Amino acid sequence: MLKRESLIKQIASHLAYLSTSVEILGAMHFFDLNITAEHFFEKLLNQVYGYNLTNLNHSKLNSAAIDLADQSIKLAVQVTSDRNALKIQKTLDKFAKHGLGTTYKSLKILIIGKRTGTYSTVTVPSGVVFDGRDDVIDNKSLMHTVEKKTTTELQDILTLIESEISYRHPS
């Protein structure tokens, strides 16, 4: 097997493991992993997309509508495991209600796992820049970006992931 292929498969496997864990634990109302996943995705998105995201929940717990932000490019990101259109709509509405469109040029929603479609039924409020097709990041779209990276970049992404994801079960 080629090194590149191995790296891509390992990255995909880790993301699948994290997504499945979040889904199963969330179904039992254990949301600790969702909260700590914000920190993980802050680092991962920075590595994959070249962002400079910071976790807004470090300075203000449960920041309205968004979890991460890159102030330099005016990007806001909501991290969620809830993939239905109603969650997307609520995020957009909160973003507009709190006037975040004046601070941030764009909003992305990262779904831990798999999206449910293009979110064509959501209504984008005035003052919010959002496209349900392009501004929702899920495992598949993330991996499409990851697979375009060089072998060295893939190794760096895998190193980051392996430093953050543990397969040991808490006792």
137: β partners? 110
Q: What is the pLDDT of residue 131?
A: 95
Mean pLDDT of all residues in 57-83: 86
More confident residue, 146 or 34: 146
Q: Indicate the range of 21-30, 42-51, 80-89 predicted with least confidence.
A: 21-30
Mind listing the pLDDT tens digit for each residue in 138-153? 999 999 999 999 999 9
- For the chain, the distance separating the N- and C-terminal CA atoms, rounded to the nearest angstrom, is 36
Give residue 24's identity as a one-letter amino acid code.
I
Q: How many CB atoms lie within 10 A of CB 36?
A: 11
